[in-house]
Amino acid sequence: MSDFEPFYNVNLSYEDNYRQGPFGEFAAALAEQESVTAAPAAPAAPAADFLGHKVNLPFGIPAGPLLNERFTTAAFRMGFDIATYKTVRSRAWGCNPFPNVLAVHPKSADGSLTPGSAELDEGVLADTNYKLPISISNSFGVPSRDPDEWQPDMKRAIVAAGDGQVLLPSFQGSRVEGMSGDDYIADHVTTARLVCETGADLMEMNTSCPNEGHNRLLCHDPALVGRITEAVKNEIGNRPLIVKLAYIPPVEVEGGWSADRRIIDDAALELMIRETAARGSVQAFSTINTISARLVDAAGEQALPGKGRDRSGVCGSAIRGAGLDMVARLAAIRDRLGLDFAIIGVGGVVAPADYQAYRAAGVDAVMSATGAMWDASLAREIKASITAE
């Protein structure tokens, strides 16, 4: 186990975390009852612009581990200047059975997982041996409280942000049996409207979890994402809309390697941009979410119990390479098309050097979920490293 106590207790159920958390240094930050405006000092540099909001540092926690207002307020107090409220829906939605988090141990020497590699299907070892640099399973199923509960809680979370900080709500549509395509789009619009009612003036739409069926992602259908974001944008008006993407692989062009680099065709990712940002319905992309892998125990059997849970999203240190690859490709397409959408880099940020690597890759902001869970002081460490330069 690491020297840090995660602010999300992986040994408790999601429901227990929701009601009792956060834990560790996040709990201590709440207990101090200090004003969020007394959060750790920002680095000696001008505040950064984050989609029209001035933030002390364009660094925060993405959708996932910040379950409610207590978690987001603790994040602000620990110096994370962008706190993303856990993805909400238009209706209550249950969580996958416990356990949801296991430590994941890829076979590669550097502990990384490469999209498309055979290991993802053959099986990656998962157990309770948590150690740094941390990689974990993410098998929750995007649970949500009922709007009657999450709306007033989100309102409190928004006003708890201190100077140079912003609360970012995350939402997604919910497909249920018998729902038509138009109904599915309408559910996204309804949920976006519910978010607007909390006073939020920006939001993120999750297209990167399997809400269309097992291991099928909404972001793999750019045309549908384009239709949904257009409808959502018509509802939310001038509020910036962020779309959360999974890893979208490039296709290697026939002929293999050129003399100096691999030749790739990024048509799928470019199509996503053309269907959304190029049409003005999306102002930023956040990427990546998790990488899907078959998780096995030491005996080679399914690690997470239950039907349909042979695979899970993996996040943390193992996906850093994929995250950096994805944002660099996004930045290249943005430059080539002459667009000005923002890019939020997510995946494998566990140390200040990872923040700097994402910034060098062309992102406008960086976020850490797993790294922040195990190191609640990560934002302070990054700020200290910048101040020391």
CATH at 27: 3.20.20.70
Q: Work out the end-to-end distance of the chain between its first and last CA atoms, rounded to an integer number of angstroms.
A: 32
Give CA separation, 329 vs 225, 273, 338, 361, 387, in Å. 19, 12, 14, 9, 29
Specify if 3 maps to a domain: no
Specify if 187 maps to a domain: yes
**pLDDT value at position 1?**
40
Specify if 2 maps to a domain: no
**pLDDT value at position 33?**
62
pLDDT along the chain (389 residues), means of 10: 78 98 96 56 68 97 97 98 98 96 96 94 96 94 97 98 97 94 97 98 91 68 96 98 95 55 76 97 97 96 93 96 97 97 98 98 98 97 89
**pLDDT value at position 257?**
47
Specify if 30 maps to a domain: yes
Count of domains forming the chain? 1
Give CA separation, 101 vs 1, 141, 211, 269, in Å. 14, 12, 19, 30
Specify if 1 maps to a domain: no
Q: What residues are paired with 204 via a beta bridge?
A: 170, 242
Specify if 50 maps to a domain: yes
Give DSSP secondary structure letters for 195-247. HHTTT-S-EEEE-SS--SSTT--GGG-HHHHHHHHHHHHHHHTTS-EEEEE--
Specify if 4 maps to a domain: no
For residue 42, give its domain range.
14-387
Specify if 332 maps to a domain: yes
Give DSSP secondary structure letters for 133-201. SPEEEE-----B--HHHHHHHHHHHHHT--TT-EEEEEE-----TT--HHHHHHHHHHHHHHHHTTT-S
Query: What's the pTM?
Result: 0.93
The DSSP bridge pattern shows strands 311-316 and 135-138 to be: antiparallel
Query: Token match 């959060």: residue?
Result: 39
**pLDDT value at position 253?**
59
